[in-house]
Amino acid sequence: MWQDQARLSLENVKAIVVAAGLSVGDIIKMTVFITDLNDFATINEVYKQFFDEHQATYPTRSCVQVARLPKDVKLEIEAIAVRSA
C-alpha cells in the first residue's frame, strides 16, 4: 500500500538519523521524490502524522516528481539532519 511505503521510508530515515546520534527533531530538510504527483496529498498526510507523533517541527521539504525510481518504488526520501547546539 502506498501509505505503508511512505511510512516505512520515514521510519528508515528515522533509524539512520538515530544511529547517527540525532533525533527526528534534528532533521532540517527533506527532499521527497515521487513517481506520481497525484500521490502528493497522501505523502503530506503521512508526513504530518510522522512528525506530529515525534513532536518535531516539520522540516523544510521539497517534493519532486520523477519518471522512475530504483526497484520501481513509488517514493524515495533524502534527509539532512544537524546536531542542535
Which of the pair, 44 or 84, is modelled with greater confidence?
Answer: 44
Q: What is the CATH number of the domain that holds 41?
A: 3.30.1330.40
Q: Average the pLDDT over 78-84 and give the result.
A: 95
Q: Has this prediction a pTM greater than 0.85?
A: yes
Q: Can you give the pLDDT at residue 84?
A: 80
Res 2 pLDDT > 80? no
Number of domains in the chain: 1
Q: pLDDT tens for residues 21-76?
A: 999 999 999 999 999 999 999 999 999 999 999 999 999 999 999 999 999 999 99
Burial class (CB in 10 A: 0-12, 13-18, 19+), 76: middle
